[in-house]
Chains A and B, each alone.
Chain A
Amino acid sequence: MIAEEPPAETAEHAARLAIRKTYKLFIGGAFPRSESGRSYPVRSASGDFMANAALASRKDARDAVRAARSAFAKWSGATAYNRGQILYRIAEMLEGRRAQFIDEVAAASGDGVSAASEVDAAIDRWVWYAGWSDKIAQVHGAANPVAGPYFNLSTPEPTGVVAIVAPAESSLLGLVSVVAPAIVPGNTVVVVASEERPLPAVTLTEVLATSDLPGGVVNLLTGRVAEIAPWLASHMDVDALDLAGVRDAGLATDLEIAAAENLKRVLRPVPASSDWAADPDVQRMLTFMEMKTAWHPKGI
């Protein structure tokens, strides 16, 4: 995908230099560089230079949380039908750029054979979660038969702003598998992309930006997990923390300790060996949902 060698000139064709993409952050629906002005080189599985990715800073994390919080009221207030449509739209957009993603995933993982199936699985995963938007409350909510003249209904609601460390190995499917379940119930997220393989994630934000997903619902940071995640874990305006991609057990423990300061809901790291292609269950959605139980008397 990245033209690393200039194409050979021919007599008919004047030499044309390919246009490279600048891989930036995705915050509040915009594509800023890191406010720190820093970047880091991203290499392919074989070690070749592919691009410079933004090296997000503490302040980028702060801005991303602010953007996620601002987007929360509107996104959580949208109808479930609407959120489902938008997630499905993401799948449509992704399908249209399937070939591009296969190239990018293959370049990141060095595995050209499985890249296609990973991209297909990622597209299908958006579709799967899209359908949950207006079903999770039915499946997980309840009308409770209390012993008295009361209407009593439990409904799951989104927790709020979820900070996510995306899986390190599975650059696209892993990312989709943690972002989609967080946003489908109405949460907004700040996700730290795979540190070594961030490029498919950045390209995915281009899809998100053109899928009617309101700005700020997904915010993507690229950079060092060990640098950014502690700021997210300790941020008092973050409601939940998904440590899926944290590989350093000591760091994961520190992040969980930091998260305790405002009692964030925490998902502990997912083992590196786990198979993201396996069928998911509802657990990731439910971890980032709060059960609200409303009572009202029944009288005339």
Chain B
Amino acid sequence: MAFEYAPAPESRSVVDIRASYGLFIGGEFVDGSGGRIKTVNPATEEVLAEVAEAGSDDVDRAVAAARTAFDQVWGPMPGRERAKYLYRIARIVQERARELAVLETIDNGKPIRESRDVDVPLVAAHFFYYAGWADKLRYAGFGERPLGVAAQVIPWNFPLLMLAWKIAPALACGNTVVLKPAETTPLTALAFAEICQQAELPPGVVNIVTGAGETGRLLVEHPAVDKVAFTGSTEVGKQIARSVAGSRKRVTLELGGKAANIVFDDAPIDQAVEGIVNGIFFNQGHVCCAGSRLLVQESIAGDLLDALKRRMALLRVGDPLDKNTDVGAINSAVQLERIRRLSEIGDAEGAERWTAPCELPDRGFWFAPTVFTGVSQAHRIAREEIFGPVLSVLTFRTPAEAVEKANNTPYGLSAGIWSEKGSRILAVADKLRAGVVWANTFNKFDPASPFGGYKESGYGREGGRHGLEAYLDR
């Protein structure tokens, strides 16, 4: 008899979603001057709330509030005092961890297991880490002067975690921020605004403006911001790089990727299979550093693929609030459409599709874990970022060929290496043109560890001592 896990849903009662949200400017929620946007639960298509779509006047107000706070309060404040606010925020995140995890899962579609065990703990850790830097900047080697007002635009794949990656170092260095969460996932950022209130963070230090791409453009191009930090698509990253040309604004960009996950014939196979699965199906593959290209040595390709498919068949796809769900909902209809379209191109180009056997819910946005074999470098599914649970498998014969194929992309965010031979790992890691190299592991993150890309995956690093550089004027 099969071991059928009964549903184990996390309780939704810990969150209290308002019907409507304003903008968080100058320490309070205010009405926006523009339209309204509905945010939906991608697992059910239920409308969760309406949020404001910040317009030009709203962005002006937010930037002005941040400027005032920078000039009058946060900039002059001693680092040790700024640190205490950040520690407070870290603690409140821990105290409200379950609520934040549930809210993130409802708004984003990611499994509660991930929001509970990965996203939210890392959010608290990130604030805790950068809090400690606030009064130690002189030791970091990047100067001690903040830049001023930071315009920060974040994506929908890790809404609260990306907020933490942006806000924690900015505040630690003495900057004030105006942050725009993604159009489809504004709710945890708005909950974070309440956390700022609970922490009694001085008004204007953190301002949250919700909206879509146009709000982001207004914010990034605002003449009074000193710093732009963006995480999102390479396409938008390029637009931002163009828009700041000739200005004095400093920019960091964390963009797309098409990471190679290289499995050598001497790999620890069972952990490699886990790493491949974690590399591409973690967060439904909505991960810029996802290991979306599996490069496997030809001599073990057959066995490895058998093991991978066996493992993929165990993935539990469905209700993101179920504590046993491994793969949740695709974040939006738009993203689902993109995944479908690129997968169809994979079919059309002759790659062989295999889909994990799983039942998908009737409502909501879903895509079953999928692997394409027989893929070559020329296939679009091997070149373009799909940003979904779709793995392309390529083979190689020699380490040199593996490196060559891994680097044969305009991206350079991350890469994986699986081998039990230490010297091979070090040699291959040296040759990979990627900002994060995971050897015998994948998709690991830590506030102390710098993260960011080479080439068209962007520039600048987030995390670690290096993450301070983006927010200081040497």
| Cβ-defined contact, A142 with B466, below 8 A | yes
Please give the distance in Å from A248's CB to the nearest CB on chain B. 11
Q: In the complex, A294→B237 CA distance in Å?
A: 25
B461 located at the interface, meaning its Cβ lies under 8 Å from any Cβ of chain A in the complex: yes
Inter-chain contacts of A139 with B (CB < 8 A): 141
Inter-chain contacts of A47 with B (CB < 8 A): none
| Cβ-defined contact, A148 with B444, below 8 A | yes
Inter-chain contacts of A154 with B (CB < 8 A): 449-450, 464, 466
Inter-chain contacts of B464 with A (CB < 8 A): 142, 144, 154, 293
| Cβ-defined contact, A263 with B439, below 8 A | no
| From A250, A259, A291, contact of B466 by CB (8 A) | A291
Can you list, as one digit per residue, whether each of B430-474 has a CB less than 8 Å from chain A (1) or not (0)?
A: 000011111111001010111110111011010011100000001
Interchain Cβ contacts under 8 Å between A and B, 21 examples: A150-B444, A154-B466, A256-B241, A256-B245, A259-B241, A260-B238, A261-B238, A263-B458, A263-B459, A283-B474, A290-B454, A291-B435, A291-B450, A292-B434, A292-B454, A293-B464, A294-B429, A294-B437, A294-B439, A295-B438, A296-B425
A297 located at the interface, meaning its Cβ lies under 8 Å from any Cβ of chain B in the complex: yes
Residue among B141, B241, B449 with max Cβ neighbours from chain A (10 Å): B449
Inter-chain contacts of B450 with A (CB < 8 A): 142, 144, 154, 291, 293
B410 located at the interface, meaning its Cβ lies under 8 Å from any Cβ of chain A in the complex: yes
A253 located at the interface, meaning its Cβ lies under 8 Å from any Cβ of chain B in the complex: yes
Q: In the complex, A154→B125 CA distance in Å?
A: 20
Q: In chain A, what residue has the closest Cβ to B234?
A: A263
Inter-chain contacts of A297 with B (CB < 8 A): 440-441
Report the 3 A-B pairs with minimum CB-CB distance, sorted nearest first.
Answer: A253-B246, A256-B245, A260-B241
A100 located at the interface, meaning its Cβ lies under 8 Å from any Cβ of chain B in the complex: no
| Cβ-defined contact, A295 with B237, below 8 A | no
A7 located at the interface, meaning its Cβ lies under 8 Å from any Cβ of chain B in the complex: no
B242 located at the interface, meaning its Cβ lies under 8 Å from any Cβ of chain A in the complex: yes
Inter-chain contacts of B459 with A (CB < 8 A): 263, 265
| Cβ-defined contact, B246 with A263, below 8 A | no
Q: Which residues of B contact A (CB under 8 A)?
A: 125, 141, 234, 237-239, 241-242, 245-246, 253, 255, 410, 412, 425, 429, 434-441, 444, 446, 448-452, 454-456, 458-459, 461, 464-466, 474
| Cβ-defined contact, A293 with B451, below 8 A | yes
4 more A-B contacts (CB under 8 A) besides A146-B448, A293-B435?
A142-B450, A142-B466, A263-B241, A263-B255
| Cβ-defined contact, A239 with B466, below 8 A | no
Near B by CB (< 8 A), chain A positions 260-300 give: 260-263, 265, 281, 283, 290-297
| Cβ-defined contact, A262 with B410, below 8 A | yes
| Number of CB contacts from chain A to chain B under 8 A | 107
Q: In the complex, A290→B436 CA distance in Å?
A: 10
Q: In the complex, A260→B437 CA distance in Å?
A: 25
Please give the distance in Å from B238's CB to the nearest CB on chain A. 5
Q: In the complex, A263→B440 CA distance in Å?
A: 30
SS class of chain A's interface: helix, strand, loop or mixed?
mixed
Q: In the complex, A146→B450 CA distance in Å?
A: 10
Can you list, as one digit per residue, whether each of A127-169 has a CB less than 8 Å from chain B (1) or not (0)?
A: 0000000000001101011111010101000010000000000
| Cβ-defined contact, A257 with B449, below 8 A | no
Please give the distance in Å from A287's CB to the nearest CB on chain B. 9
Near B by CB (< 8 A), chain A positions 173-219 give: none
Please give the distance in Å from A112's CB to the nearest CB on chain B. 35
| Cβ-defined contact, B449 with A152, below 8 A | yes
| Cβ-defined contact, B245 with A260, below 8 A | yes
Q: In chain B, what residue has the closest Cβ to A149?
A: B441
Q: In the complex, A147→B448 CA distance in Å?
A: 8
| Cβ-defined contact, A144 with B436, below 8 A | no
| Cβ-defined contact, A263 with B253, below 8 A | yes
Inter-chain contacts of B440 with A (CB < 8 A): 296-297
| Cβ-defined contact, A293 with B245, below 8 A | no
Residue among A146, A239, A295, A296 with max Cβ neighbours from chain B (10 Å): A295
| Cβ-defined contact, B246 with A256, below 8 A | yes
Near B by CB (< 8 A), chain A positions 8-49 give: none
| Cβ-defined contact, A257 with B466, below 8 A | no
Residue among A260, A261, A291, A293 with max Cβ neighbours from chain B (10 Å): A293
Q: In the complex, A256→B446 CA distance in Å?
A: 33
A249 located at the interface, meaning its Cβ lies under 8 Å from any Cβ of chain B in the complex: yes
Q: In the complex, A283→B241 CA distance in Å?
A: 20
Q: In the complex, A292→B434 CA distance in Å?
A: 7
Residue among B238, B246, B464 with max Cβ neighbours from chain A (10 Å): B246
A228 located at the interface, meaning its Cβ lies under 8 Å from any Cβ of chain B in the complex: no
| Cβ-defined contact, B125 with A147, below 8 A | yes
Please give the distance in Å from A143's CB to the nearest CB on chain B. 10
Please give the distance in Å from A68's CB to the nearest CB on chain B. 16
Please give the distance in Å from A197's CB to the nearest CB on chain B. 26
A108 located at the interface, meaning its Cβ lies under 8 Å from any Cβ of chain B in the complex: no
Known contacts A144-B448, A145-B448, A296-B441; is-contact A291 B461 (Cβ 8 Å):
yes
Q: In chain A, what residue has the closest Cβ to B446?
A: A146
Inter-chain contacts of B436 with A (CB < 8 A): 292-295
Inter-chain contacts of B441 with A (CB < 8 A): 150, 295-297
Inter-chain contacts of A265 with B (CB < 8 A): 459
A252 located at the interface, meaning its Cβ lies under 8 Å from any Cβ of chain B in the complex: yes
Q: In the complex, A144→B246 CA distance in Å?
A: 35
Known contacts A283-B474, A295-B444; is-contact A262 B437 (Cβ 8 Å):
no
Q: In the complex, A167→B253 CA distance in Å?
A: 28
Please give the distance in Å from A89's CB to the nearest CB on chain B. 25
Inter-chain contacts of B410 with A (CB < 8 A): 262
Q: In the complex, A283→B450 CA distance in Å?
A: 18
Known contacts A144-B464, A263-B455, A293-B435; is-contact A152 B253 (Cβ 8 Å):
no
| Cβ-defined contact, A142 with B246, below 8 A | no
Please give the distance in Å from A257's CB to the nearest CB on chain B. 5
